[in-house]
């Protein structure tokens, strides 16, 4: 439906501009979908992975390792209630799954891998599996 506005040729053109400038403005950021952001560092013995998983309980985080493939999944639950004078004005909820999977350059020793979660950061220490020694065959 279209709003019809009357045109007044004698009205002050700056009055509407001033009125809009003095009107209170509500600034609210749109909720961005959560993503798992990952930093991977490598040294001779292990990979160190730091993953940002904010607002998630450590019980809701799952890490799977298969060879050189690492998968991180998490269940995110966010609720926000805005109240004024004891009445709920707005209530927002977000429930969703987060998933990140990536490959490393070498297989990981799953038995000695460790994971720590603090302050929204999941830190994985993934020791490298010793690679099979190459064997030279003698040609006869």
What are the 10-residue block averages of pLDDT along the chain, 140 residues in total?
67 71 63 78 95 89 94 86 79 83 92 93 93 69
Q: Please report how many Cα atoms fall inside a 13 Å half-sphere around the Cα of residue 54, on the Cβ side.
A: 5
pLDDT of residue 140: 75
pLDDT of residue 34: 65
pLDDT of residue 89: 76
Report the distance separating Cα 127 and Cα 109, nearest Å: 6
pLDDT of residue 31: 53
Report the distance separating Cα 126 and Cα 112, nearest Å: 7
Walk me through the domains of the chain, giving residue ranges and CATH numbers. 34-127 (2.60.40.790)
pLDDT of residue 3: 67
- For the record, the structure tokens of 128 come out as 């490298």
pLDDT of residue 33: 58
Sheet with 69-84: strands ordered across: 61-66, 69-84, 87-103
């Amino acid at each position: 439906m279209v709003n019809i506005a009357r045109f007044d040729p004698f009205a002050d053109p700056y009055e509407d501009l001033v009125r809009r400038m003095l009107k209170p403005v509500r600034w609210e950021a749109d909720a961005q979908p959560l993503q798992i952001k990952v930093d991977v560092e490598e040294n001779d013995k292990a990979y160190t992975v730091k993953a940002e998983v904010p607002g998630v309980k450590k019980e809701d985080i799952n890490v799977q390792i298969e060879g050189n493939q690492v998968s991180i999944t998490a269940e995110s639950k966010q609720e926000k209630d805005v109240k004024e004078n004891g009445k709920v004005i707005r209530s927002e909820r977000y429930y969703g799954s987060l998933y990140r999977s990536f490959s490393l350059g070498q297989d990981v020793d799953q038995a000695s891998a460790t994971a720590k979660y603090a302050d929204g950061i999941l830190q994985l220490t993934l020791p490298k599996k010793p690679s099979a020694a190459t064997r030279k065959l003698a040609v006869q």
